Chain A
């Protein structure tokens, strides 16, 4: 069974440019998450989709970040325009459906997309 796949694995862009990261979750996983790790810091939550709906986007840093999940399958995270502080590793994760209070915690992570903004 294929795991969570992300691409590109590494993107180098200049400040002010646009980058789109893509995540393909494990087939059948309704829940999809985006996390980010900037250098020297902890992995931080960005947002959570349940199917195509945004369940929680409390971690999105600002309106330069736009996440979509068309049709409840793959997801994209667009950064426009990119700033230097956006550099980091962007992780996507997915999990099975769960009822409130019954979450097992098993998020399946991708290997991340490393973004470098020059």
Chain B
């Protein structure tokens, strides 16, 4: 079993729709959860972080965390073609001093 699992996609949504990206993790000691966005050939860029159960909103992005279910998601509202990228879920264990465990990433395509 992978430590952090994501559907690799590709996930295709029309412009203006809500894109829903999901991630599950196996280590119950995980404390911090992150979503990175990576455009092709570019560096991963942090877009959301979440540490406690519930929802966290930032503009068009909402991260959701459920530690009991070991599940974290990212919702992108009003999706734009510029949101087309690979979205990486990353997890940090409580004992980890900065080491992140990444999922394989979900490729998102937003078509006009």
The chain A residues found within 8 Å of chain B, CB to CB, are 3-4, 31, 33, 35, 41-45, 48, 55-56, 58-59, 91, 95, 98, 100, 103-112
Question: What are 9 A-B interface contacts by the 8 Å CB criterion?
Answer: A4-B43, A42-B4, A42-B102, A44-B102, A48-B97, A105-B90, A107-B44, A109-B44, A109-B45
Q: Would B98 and A31 count as touching, CB distance under 8 A?
A: yes
B residues in contact (CB < 8 Å) with A: 2, 4, 32, 34, 36, 41-46, 49, 88, 90, 92, 97-105
- In the A-B complex, the 10 residue pairs with the smallest Cβ-Cβ separation, listed nearest first, are A109-B43, A43-B102, A42-B104, A109-B44, A111-B43, A42-B102, A105-B34, A105-B49, A45-B99, A106-B46
Q: Which residues of chain A come closer than 8 Å to B102, judged between CB atoms?
A: 35, 42-44
In the bound assembly, the distance between CA atoms of A107 and B64 in angstroms comes to 21
User: With the chains together, A77 CA to B101 CA distance in Å?
Assistant: 20
CB distance from A66 to the nearest CB of B (A): 19
